[in-house]
Amino acid sequence: MDEVLACGNVAVETAEERFAVAATTATALALYRPRTLKHRDSFLVLDHHGDAQALGETAEGLFHEDTRHLSRMALRIDGERPLLLSSGVSEDNALLTVDLTNGDLPARGDRPTLPRDTVHMRRVIVLGDGALHERIHIRNYGAETITIELTLAHEADFADIFEVRGMRRALRGTLAPPVTEDNGTLFSYRGLDRVLRTTHIAYDPPPTSWRGAEARFALRLAPGEQRTLALSVHCRRQGSAAQHATGDLGFDGWLARHRAWTAARKREVALIHTSNEAFNDWLNRSRADLDMLSDAPDGPFPYAGVPWFSTAFGRDSLITALQCLWLDPVLASGVLRYLAARQATTLDPARDAEPGKILHETRRGEMAATGEVPFGLYYGSVDATPLFVMLAAAHLDRTGDTALARELWPKVEAALGWMERHGDRDGDGFLEYGRRTAEGLANQGWKDSWDSVFHADGRLAEGPIALVEVQAYAYAAWLGAARIARTLGHPARAERLEARAETLRRRFNEAFWCKELGSYALALDGSKQPCRVRASNAGHALLGGIVPAERAARVAATLLEPRSFCGWGVRTLAEGEARYNPMSYHNGSVWPHDNGLIALGFARYGLRKPLVRLLSGLFDAALWTDMKRLPELFCGFPRLSGQGPTAYPVACLPQAWASASAFAVLGALLGVTFRPEQQQIRFVRPVLPPWLEVVRIANLRLGSAAADVALHRHHNGEVSLTVLRRRGRVEVAVIN
């Protein structure tokens, strides 16, 4: 991930190096199987004890609006760290519960030695918008009255998320000394953006004493007696008018708010239950993570992932919504409206913005406000704009919602205008990218690390660069826009769009196809020379439908060869290619969302057997992960018997498009399609793996109607369908 280019004898730091996540040992330890909560613009990353940075510098803490408001949270009993019994996040992601006990504690004052397992401590944490509430229940299970001292240590460094990621700053703002009060502590920081940020901690009951900012509680517990300590944390940013519009709801209020949101989402989406309980656990965790990540202020809108990308990303949200569209069209409509409202209208090179372009990333931290990073409102992605048009068309195909299509049409036209005028830099019909600012991202596809686009000999491609998958997205966008235009009564416009798509399809297959690879080139460089590299990007070309049927089967076969398919999924880069490294971010690792989009491409061409391999690989990977939560990515080492996939140390957990991949692959296997004009739900040549005998889907909606169905796998591999219930006028059909 880190890049240093040599210019003579001087090492020059690139933008990619500055913005990359620094994979230090402490960071890696902190982010492998963390305990995570998120609520809107706040998120919490803790270790298994419920602490943050208790043993050293890590990437843990309480974050709000891209700033770490608590950098240390540590509980001690008589000065010692408790023993961990268990910890976990509830299935709905509402609560973090940690069970602890004491180790053998030496005699203290009049108290004799305290044997281990005498005191049970249960920490229960709920997160709100800029608020954290914790209850610590302490119970004496011994036969004698005991005295103990609990200490709670907190610190606040107010580090920007990019500092936590590893960026170094020449200057910082002013961090004030903590101020202790009778029942709490106030931390404050005035940044270089002149904004005052504060963290206030209140304890109930008040501490018995203080040592600096460390709160101390002297407790005397009779046999069987239980006491409860409560603390609340409030994060504030000066000038944030929208923050805390509802006020602090307290522990019970935020818990109820979270569960009300989850219940509302369940009424909007299709619910899946199968004959395989482990598979159900994976789906339920994925669903809960999507709900948690999508509870945005303007929601539903999926933030990309915790901790590094807990904000709005155009590409990530569009791909997440696309993968979930068959069961959750409400998410897609939320994504489309959010991004449409933030579509670029002016030319601004400092933000890589051009009229009609769709947002790449937005940030609210100090470094974005001061311009130390360009991501306050940043547009440096080549694929978000065609993906926006793709999703708008796919949503119309899925729902028949002409009102939303009409609302979005001016934005779709603006996006098409960007594709014609700015996205196609040399007028050859392909979409290319090249950053407008040296501070921006050099590579602007989904593989945006510095070394992800190169030739067969390992030479980095020079731009402007036309990526293979982006051309497929553009093709689908032209055709999708044509369908919207016809629906809205613009047949002449539709014909022009279809003609443009056909020209692109023909030229694409001439320029990108590499017969010797059995696949498409990764990209064309600025000289229109193909990067003849076997990469997973070619699988996205199937998603767009730009590939002839005979070549689709060949591409699928190439992707499932052992050098590409490691057993857990398709690698981003095939083994044996220059720059292949199974531990790299984009050159040999496995990304679940990448496989989800490939699966949708396989389904488009009726490639059912490859789909079963993809689903089986991802499911098996999920079985080995903590809480069956697939990470953003994992290493691409070959699968070994009795061993799980190798973790990538700084992968986001959870990550929205990784969570969505479960539903993309399952929907692809079931062949779910919709005909809103006929009020018909179709299952086209559905297939199920041997370990999945029954799939039940409830509340599969089409407009105001819905159906509950069950699919059964028989011994001969055939799949039958039973309609369990209908609400409203809807027809369900199986197409074999």
* Residue 87, CA distances (Å) to 21, 103, 184, 410 in order: 27, 17, 27, 50
Residue 490 domain-assigned (yes or no): yes
Residue 549 domain-assigned (yes or no): yes
Residue 18 has pLDDT above 90, yes or no: no
Beta bridge partners of 701: 706
Q: Among 624, 647, 670, identify where a domain stops.
A: 670
Residue 3 has pLDDT above 50, yes or no: no
Residue 4 domain-assigned (yes or no): no
| Lowest-confidence segment of 2-16, 65-79, 253-267 by average pLDDT | 2-16
Residue 11 has pLDDT above 80, yes or no: no
Percent of the chain at pLDDT above 90? 89
Q: What does the pLDDT read at residue 4?
A: 28
Residue 25 has pLDDT above 80, yes or no: no
Q: How far apart are CA 184 and CA 206, in angstroms?
A: 7
**185 and 234 housed in the same domain:** yes
Q: What token pair was written down for 50?
A: 């419920």
Residue 297 has pLDDT above 90, yes or no: no
Q: How far apart are CA 308 and CA 300, in angstroms?
A: 20
3-class secondary structure, 718: coil
Q: For 523-532, what is the mean pLDDT? A: 97
Question: Cβ-count burial of 116 within 10 angstroms (0-12 exposed, 13-18 middle, 19+ buried)?
Answer: exposed
The closest of 265, 269, 272 to 293, measured between CA atoms, is 265
Residue 719 domain-assigned (yes or no): no
The residue ranking higher by pLDDT, 29 or 35, is 35
pLDDT digits (tens, 9 = 90+) for 423-470: 999 999 999 998 888 888 889 999 999 999 999 999 999 989 999 999
**197 and 100 housed in the same domain:** yes
Q: How far apart are CA 48 and CA 96, in angstroms?
A: 10
**365 and 223 housed in the same domain:** no
Report strand pairing: 10-13 vs 4-7. Answer: antiparallel
**328 and 206 housed in the same domain:** no
Question: Cβ-count burial of 714 within 10 angstroms (0-12 exposed, 13-18 middle, 19+ buried)?
Answer: exposed
Residue 717 domain-assigned (yes or no): no
For tokens 């297959």, what's the residue? 509
**506 and 637 housed in the same domain:** yes
Q: How far apart are CA 546 and CA 540, in angstroms?
A: 10
Q: Write the secondary structure of 601-617 as one string of H (helix), E (strand) and C (coil).
A: HHHHCCCHHHHHHHHHH
Range of the domain at 476: 269-274+289-306+314-670
Q: What token pair was written down for 219?
A: 């407790």
Residue 695 domain-assigned (yes or no): no
Q: How far apart are CA 192 and CA 183, in angstroms?
A: 30
Q: How far apart are CA 548 and CA 480, in angstroms?
A: 18
**451 and 544 housed in the same domain:** yes
Residue 207's domain is classified under what CATH number?
2.70.98.40
Residue 703 domain-assigned (yes or no): no
Residue 384's domain is classified under what CATH number?
1.50.10.10
Give the list of residues 6+ apart from residue 2 with CB closer than 8 angstroms, or none. Answer: 17, 20, 22
Q: What token pair was written down for 326?
A: 């068959």
Q: What token pair was written down for 191?
A: 């940044």
The closest of 649, 598, 590 to 620, measured between CA atoms, is 590
Residue 588 has pLDDT above 70, yes or no: yes
Question: Cβ-count burial of 61 within 10 angstroms (0-12 exposed, 13-18 middle, 19+ buried)?
Answer: buried
Q: Using pLDDT thresholds of 50, 70 and 90, give the confidence band for residue 230.
A: very high
Q: How many domains does the chain have?
A: 2
The closest of 197, 211, 212, 215 to 157, measured between CA atoms, is 197
The closest of 543, 536, 539, 478 to 507, measured between CA atoms, is 478
**421 and 488 housed in the same domain:** yes
Q: Helix 314-324 and helix 329-341: axis angle, to 10°?
A: 160
Q: Tell me how far the alpha carbon of residue 430 is from its chain's centroid.
A: 29
Amino acid identity, position 419: M
Q: What does the pLDDT read at residue 245?
A: 52
The closest of 629, 631, 651, 633 to 281, measured between CA atoms, is 629
Neighbours of 25 (CB within 10 A): 11
Residue 232, CB-side half-sphere exposure with 13 Å CA sphere: 16
**236 and 332 housed in the same domain:** no
Q: Among 619, 648, 670, identify where a domain stops.
A: 670
Q: What does the pLDDT read at residue 12?
A: 35
Whole-number mean pLDDT of the chain? Answer: 94
Percent of the chain at pLDDT above 70? 95
Q: Using pLDDT thresholds of 50, 70 and 90, give the confidence band for residue 475.
A: very high
**302 and 220 housed in the same domain:** no
pLDDT digits (tens, 9 = 90+) for 96-151: 999 999 999 999 888 899 999 999 999 999 999 999 999 999 999 999 999 999 99
Q: For 476-490, what is the mean pLDDT? A: 98
**360 and 228 housed in the same domain:** no
**294 and 234 housed in the same domain:** no
For tokens 């069209």, what's the residue? 329
Note whether 124 and 134 are within 8 A (CB): yes
Residue 626 domain-assigned (yes or no): yes
Residue 634 has pLDDT above 90, yes or no: yes
The closest of 402, 269, 405, 388 to 336, measured between CA atoms, is 388
| Lowest-confidence segment of 293-307, 360-374, 559-573, 598-612 by average pLDDT | 293-307
**657 and 533 housed in the same domain:** yes
